[in-house]
Structure 1
Amino acid sequence: MTSIHLPPVIFSFHKKVTLRERKRLKHFLAILFKENKQELDRLHYIFCDDEKILGINRQYLKHDYYTDIITFDVREKPSEPMVADIFISVDTVRSNALVQKEPFNRELHRVIFHGALHLCGYNDKTPREQAVMRNMEDQCLLRYGL
């Protein structure tokens, strides 16, 4: 991998989950942002349970359902370097991995990359956007070695 300054990528665990090779993952995320011409200041990944993410979904997005990830761009202005909080429900990721017949670690990384890709400007509202997002996730997983 190319030598690059590692911006603060923080991992907080409100739900126990094994996340190996964190330094490598931070490096990969920094490169992903650089490749997408997005200046990165801080990413904070918060791994939580279904109840926590449901509360966040209700409070901030007015959605009454469980989800695997909620991404908040918390910059004051879009012209500033990226600062974001990314909540990931370990419970939902585990359930989705079973449904998709994917290893949990692969599904967890797909969701981690999904949040970063949103912050790099990729969306998933339309079927076309969903296909592009899925392709980008797959590329990230392949490049990361999963």
Structure 2
Amino acid sequence: MSPSPLTSVLQITNPKTWAPFFVPTTPWLDHLLGTLSRHMSNYPRGQISFLFTSNRVIRRYNAQYRNIDKPTNVLAFPASSPIPSWTFLGDIVLGFEQILSESHDLQIDFAHHLTHMVIHGALHLMGFDHQTEAEMRIMRAHETKTLHQLGLSSPFSTP
């Protein structure tokens, strides 16, 4: 029997803020995670909890857990101990204003950049990091492959 796919639990603080740009949904998240998990068959699968929130909230988490007192685009918090029959991989927190600002800077659609940040966070929960150049290359390769499978360009490509 193959492992269960990646699935999501969704919470959005102040959905009206997101509405003019893109409102994340559980089916959308599950589609992204399903696409990621198809080429990551040797990595953990299970449930991921998502919180789509404001810069104010993500800044507080960033200060509390990383000692960095500024907002960021995405934070990933791995679960401390998975339950054998049901794997909870962890929590991902995404900051609206930061992602919106970055999408403008990158000159890409908000939903495109948000998709990338969801994939980035999920890869962190699957054990990937980007502390070294080698780790960053591996993580970017997985991000790029998944984005291409979703029909989106890589933010790492040169125009």
Instruction: Confirm or deny a common fold (TM above 0.5).
Output: yes
- What TM-score range do you get, normalising by the shorter chain? 0.7 to 0.9
Which residue of the partner structure matches residue 157 of structure 2?
none
Which residue of the partner structure matches residue 145 of structure 2?
139
- Equivalent of 1:32 in 13, 31, 36: 36
What's the C-alpha RMSD, in Å, of the aligned pairs? 2.6
Q: Does residue 86 in structure 1 map to residue 92 in structure 2? A: yes
CA deviation after TM superposition for structure 1 residue 24, in Å: 4.9
* Contact 2:8–2:49 under 8 Å retained in 1: yes
* Counterpart-to-counterpart distance in 1, 2:148 and 2:137: 16
Residues 15 and 6 of structure 1: CA distance in aligned 2, closer, same or farther (over 3 Å): farther
Q: Point out the more displaced range, 94-103 or 6-15.
A: 6-15
* Counterpart-to-counterpart distance in 1, 2:63 and 2:129: 21
Residues 12 and 21 of structure 1: CA distance in aligned 2, closer, same or farther (over 3 Å): closer
Provide the TM-score with structure 2 as the length reference: 0.76
Which residue of the partner structure matches residue 113 of structure 2?
107
Residues 40 and 75 of structure 1: CA distance in aligned 2, closer, same or farther (over 3 Å): farther
CA deviation after TM superposition for structure 1 residue 89, in Å: 0.3
Residues 118 and 134 of structure 1: CA distance in aligned 2, closer, same or farther (over 3 Å): same
* Unmatched 5+ stretches in structure 1: none
Q: Does residue 12 in structure 1 map to residue 16 in structure 2? A: no
5 Å matches for 1:23-102? 23-30=27-34, 32-33=36-37, 35-76=40-81, 81-102=87-108
Provide the TM-score with structure 1 as the length reference: 0.82
Code of the residue aligned with 2:99 in structure 1: it is V
* Contact 2:5–2:45 under 8 Å retained in 1: no
User: Number of paired residues?
Assistant: 143
Code of the residue aligned with 1:12 in structure 2: it is Q
Code of the residue aligned with 2:30 in structure 1: it is K
SS in structure 2 at match of 1:40? coil
* Counterpart-to-counterpart distance in 1, 2:12 and 2:147: 22
* Contact 2:58–2:71 under 8 Å retained in 1: yes
* Counterpart-to-counterpart distance in 2, 1:6 and 1:36: 9
Which residue of the partner structure matches residue 123 of structure 1?
129
* Counterpart-to-counterpart distance in 2, 1:77 and 1:42: 10
* Counterpart-to-counterpart distance in 2, 1:32 and 1:118: 12
* Contact 1:75–1:82 under 8 Å retained in 2: no
